[in-house]
């Protein structure tokens, strides 16, 4: 009876140090005259303070309860650690991340008569094999919260020529972010976007160039697309 015994032992020392005989007698008289129901059916104050124990007839039961609680807490603690290890093992085995960029092109990419996925064909990272360079598309290997970023660069090559592009990030065929430029004041320009998206397993994300627009003067690495799994979720 670890905590209870220590507490009552300290209390007994405190009572002895202040000469608490009169107080003990008062406690004894109050306990004996108590007509309410007690868990142990009686109360022995002398036993309480002289032997460092609680209600003498309940000491064994209280010890058993304390032991049971102690072992139960140990079991719960062990279970929590095991669950934590299982979660870390599960997450540790999930590596989903990719980075890809457009290779250097002499000619402009576009314009096209329809919206066209941008072919990020230079792959520097593809953990989980979620990115397909042939389609320019990422397919989620599992459900989770993902982070996606894309950067856009274009150079028209001379003053007075029109900078004209619009690029948008698509999730399952729907626009979730975009960036665009439409003026004659800049001969070259760049922009970028980063978003967090929830995806179910099999969900698809890609970047597309809108019809009638073009990306010119591409320098390798400036037009890029990347993404990574932040944490998995239940499907």
Is the confidence at residue 24, as pLDDT, over 70?
A: no
Contacts (Cβ under 8 Å, ≥6 apart) of 149 = 192, 193, 194, 195, 224, 225, 226, 227
Over the stretch 144-201, which tens digit does the pLDDT of each residue have? 999 999 999 988 776 667 777 899 999 999 999 999 887 666 777 889 999 999 999 9
Is the confidence at residue 81, as pLDDT, over 60?
A: yes
pLDDT at 95: 86
pLDDT at 76: 82
What average pLDDT is seen over the chain?
A: 76
Q: Where are the domains of the chain?
A: 2-91, 94-232
> CA Rg, the chain, in Å?
37
pLDDT band at 8 (very low <50, low <70, confident <90, very high): very low
CB 219 within 8 Å of CB 128: no
Q: Give the pLDDT mean for 82-88.
A: 64
Q: Enter the pTM of the model.
A: 0.60
CB 224 within 8 Å of CB 167: no
Q: Give the pLDDT mean for 100-115.
A: 88
Is the confidence at residue 18, as pLDDT, over 50?
A: no
Fold of 94-232: Jelly Rolls (2.60.120)
> How far is 100 from 227, CA to CA, in rounded Å?
9
pLDDT at 49: 46
pLDDT at 59: 59
Contacts (Cβ under 8 Å, ≥6 apart) of 44 = 31, 55, 56, 57
pLDDT at 203: 95
The residue ranking higher by pLDDT, 174 or 5, is 174
Burial class (CB in 10 A: 0-12, 13-18, 19+), 89: exposed
Task: Lowest mean pLDDT of 82-86, 133-137, 141-145, 153-157, name the range.
Answer: 82-86
Q: Which pairing describes strands 116-117 and 144-155: parallel, antiparallel, or unpaired? A: unpaired
Which letter does DSSP use for residue 202 in this model? T
pLDDT at 29: 63
pLDDT at 90: 60
């Amino acid at each position: 009876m670890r905590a209870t015994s220590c507490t009552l032992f300290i209390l007994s020392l405190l009572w002895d140090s202040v000469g608490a005989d009169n107080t003990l007698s008062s406690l004894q008289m109050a306990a004996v005259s108590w007509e309410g129901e007690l868990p142990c059916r009686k109360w022995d104050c002398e036993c309480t303070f002289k032997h460092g124990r609680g209600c003498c007839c309940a000491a064994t039961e209280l010890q058993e309860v304390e032991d049971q609680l102690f072992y139960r807490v140990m079991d719960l603690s062990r279970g929590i650690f095991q669950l934590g290890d299982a979660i870390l093992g599960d997450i540790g085995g999930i590596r989903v991340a990719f980075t890809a960029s457009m290779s250097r092109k002499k000619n402009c990419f576009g314009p096209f008569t329809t919206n066209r996925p941008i072919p990020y064909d230079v792959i520097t990272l593809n953990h989980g094999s979620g990115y397909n360079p042939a389609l320019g598309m990422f397919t989620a290997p599992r459900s989770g919260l993902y982070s996606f970023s894309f950067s856009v660069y274009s150079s028209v090559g001379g003053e007075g020529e029109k900078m004209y592009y619009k690029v948008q990030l698509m999730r399952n065929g729907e626009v979730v972010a975009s960036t665009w430029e439409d003026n004659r004041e800049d001969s070259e320009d760049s922009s970028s976007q980063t978003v967090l998206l929830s995806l179910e397993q099999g969900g698809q994300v890609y970047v597309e160039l809108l019809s009638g627009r073009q990306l010119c003067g591409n320098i390798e690495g400036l037009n890029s697309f990347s993404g990574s799994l932040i944490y998995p979720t239940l499907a």
